[in-house]
Chains A and B, each alone.
Chain A
Amino acid sequence: MNPSTKDPAAPQARPTLEVPAQRELARLCVQTGLLLMQHGAESALVESVVRRLGVALGADSVEVAIMANAITVTLLCGSKSTTTVRRNEDRGINMHMVTEVQRAMLRVEGGELDLAGYRARIEELRPLRYPRWLLSVMIGLSCASFAALAGGDLPSCGLVLLSSSVAMYVRLLLASFHFNPLVTFFVAAFVATSISVQGVLHQIGGTPKIAMASCVLLLVPGFPLINAVSDMVKGYVNTGLSRATMATLLAASTCAGIMLSMRIWNVWGWL
């Protein structure tokens, strides 16, 4: 196409992508959106990153439809459009992946990466995983801090440290065997409560009930809850509702684990 033959009043002419290049770009865009969704980014971020990436790499416009467990991307280039859908399966929250995908997109926008460079960058990304023992100890300390904030004394906090660390280790171990998160949370809540109940049975510390309440706080689905409300505030009501439902189910599963443990040990720590 020769730009000089075009109407000079027309907006600046951009070369239209050929169909194979358009398909390639659509695949990259949907792959980007999928990576963000799988690792716990909120819907507004997914949509904006995919849109900006597609436009930066030559599409006229990019339309993104995000569903609870799928993503659709349509690329418009001149008179042609390409649509592609991917199924989303949750891979667990990983902010390292979200950061790296967004940084790659920013480098494309800044002109540092072209399509091939971006694809290479995305394909070499591997999610950061912290070691299991470190997560267990830190979560134990976190729940102990919650107990201290709620007014627990030192022996109770120590009990929480132990029970939450063990529960977190069990949770991560079960997750590594690809158990459904509902099962994982149920078992972890049972383990945590069964250990902290010993504080009531053997009079460890003066605040055993605070220990029982704090030791299961590692199972509060905080990220999905905040994402749920954020999505709904920004107009993505369907993904928001689905996140809120999943968070409530996880909490219900946790409560079932707590209840089972309290019945077996015949101790009432809550209510």
Chain B
Amino acid sequence: MNLLIDLLRDMALASVPAVGFALVFHVPARVLKYCALGGAFGHGLRFLLLKTDMPIEWATLIAAGVVSFWGVWCAQRLRAHPKVFTVASMIPMIPGVPFFTTLLALIEIQHRGYSPELLATAVASGIKTLFIVTSLAVGLALPGLLLYRRTPVV
């Protein structure tokens, strides 16, 4: 029961940035609900997969892939490319804090001088960012890689 409440809270909180960033990307108003649904569903699915001790990059890949297949299904009804709303749905899963941590650690190495801890922080956060972003993009590309190999999605 606690897990269900946590999941619903996670999905509700994830849908807000999906819509917020969709507005920044100027997604048409009628498509915004798809951004919210995709954001909530993707982040919720990743939350559940992380609970099963799956590594974060695999959980992200699966969540992004599932949202992308659903996005293709919606896109064919909307007559618009799925990226129009699926990228906004991925925003809650973007590793923003590790990305900035990487660069801030590098700036600190310049300022304080080299230390193994700073370098370890920079490398670990940087690799984490790289893997998660790659998982998101490859997950979004899955329908094109697996089903729509020579034909356009819309």
Q: From residue 48 to 64 of chain B, which have CB atoms closer than 8 A to chain A?
A: none
* Proximity bits, B86-122, A CB within 8 Å = 1, else 0: 0110111010110111011101100000000010010
In the complex, the answer to whether A96 meets B100 with C-beta atoms within 8 Å is no
Which residues on the B side are within 8 Å of A254 (C-beta)? Answer: 100
In the complex, the answer to whether B101 meets A226 with C-beta atoms within 8 Å is no
The answer for the CA separation of A245 and B21 in the assembled complex, in Å, is: 21
Which residues on the A side are within 8 Å of B13 (C-beta)? Answer: 145, 148-149
* Contact for B141 among A93, A128, A144, A233, CB less than 8 A: A233
Q: Which residue of A lies closest to B138 (CB)?
A: A233
The answer for the CA separation of A141 and B19 in the assembled complex, in Å, is: 10
In the complex, the answer to whether A96 meets B16 with C-beta atoms within 8 Å is no
B contact patch SS: helix
The answer for the CA separation of A233 and B14 in the assembled complex, in Å, is: 27
* Contact for B20 among A98, A141, A251, CB less than 8 A: A141
* Contact for A42 among B83, B92, B103, CB less than 8 A: B83
A contact patch SS: helix
CB of A177 closer than 8 Å to a CB of B: no
Is the interface on chain A under 10, 10 to 19, 20 to 34, or 35 or more residues? 35 or more
Given the known interface contacts A222-B91, A271-B108, the answer about A234 and B141 at a Cβ–Cβ threshold of 8 Å is yes
B36 to chain A, nearest CB (A): 12
* Proximity bits, A208-232, B CB within 8 Å = 1, else 0: 0000011011001011011111100
B135 to chain A, nearest CB (A): 9
In the complex, the answer to whether A255 meets B28 with C-beta atoms within 8 Å is no
Which residues on the A side are within 8 Å of B108 (C-beta)? Answer: 271
Is the interface on chain B under 10, 10 to 19, 20 to 34, or 35 or more residues? 35 or more
Q: From residue 91 to 117 of chain A, which have CB atoms closer than 8 A to chain B?
A: 93-99, 102-103, 106
The answer for the CA separation of A95 and B133 in the assembled complex, in Å, is: 21
In the complex, the answer to whether A251 meets B103 with C-beta atoms within 8 Å is yes
Q: Taking each of A42, A144, A146, A214, which has the highest tally of chain B beta carbons within 10 Å of its own beta carbon?
A: A146
In the complex, the answer to whether B152 meets A259 with C-beta atoms within 8 Å is no
Which residues on the B side are within 8 Å of A94 (C-beta)? Answer: 25-26
Q: From residue 113 to 153 of chain B, which have CB atoms closer than 8 A to chain A?
A: 118, 121, 133-134, 136-138, 140-141, 144-145, 152
A185 to chain B, nearest CB (A): 12
The answer for the CA separation of A130 and B26 in the assembled complex, in Å, is: 7
* Contact for A233 among B31, B90, B121, B137, CB less than 8 A: B137
CB of A241 closer than 8 Å to a CB of B: no
In the complex, the answer to whether A217 meets B97 with C-beta atoms within 8 Å is yes
In the complex, the answer to whether B103 meets A149 with C-beta atoms within 8 Å is no
Task: Flag the segment in A12-20, A60-68, A131-139 that touches B.
Answer: A131-139
CB of A48 closer than 8 Å to a CB of B: yes
B144 to chain A, nearest CB (A): 8
In the complex, the answer to whether A226 meets B90 with C-beta atoms within 8 Å is yes
The answer for the CA separation of A228 and B136 in the assembled complex, in Å, is: 11
A99 to chain B, nearest CB (A): 4
In the complex, the answer to whether A40 meets B14 with C-beta atoms within 8 Å is no
Which residues on the A side are within 8 Å of B141 (C-beta)? Answer: 230, 233-234
The answer for the CA separation of A256 and B103 in the assembled complex, in Å, is: 9
Given the known interface contacts A99-B81, A226-B136, A258-B104, the answer about A142 and B16 at a Cβ–Cβ threshold of 8 Å is yes
Q: Taking each of A94, A98, A143, A214, which has the highest tally of chain B beta carbons within 10 Å of its own beta carbon?
A: A98
Q: From residue 114 to 168 of chain A, which have CB atoms closer than 8 A to chain B?
A: 127-130, 134-135, 138-139, 141-146, 148-150
CB of B84 closer than 8 Å to a CB of A: yes
In the complex, the answer to whether B27 meets A229 with C-beta atoms within 8 Å is no
In the complex, the answer to whether B137 meets A213 with C-beta atoms within 8 Å is no
In the complex, the answer to whether A128 meets B17 with C-beta atoms within 8 Å is no
Q: From residue 44 to 101 of chain A, which have CB atoms closer than 8 A to chain B?
A: 44-45, 48, 52, 93-99
| Top-6 shortest CB links A-B | A142-B20, A229-B137, A142-B17, A220-B96, A138-B20, A145-B16
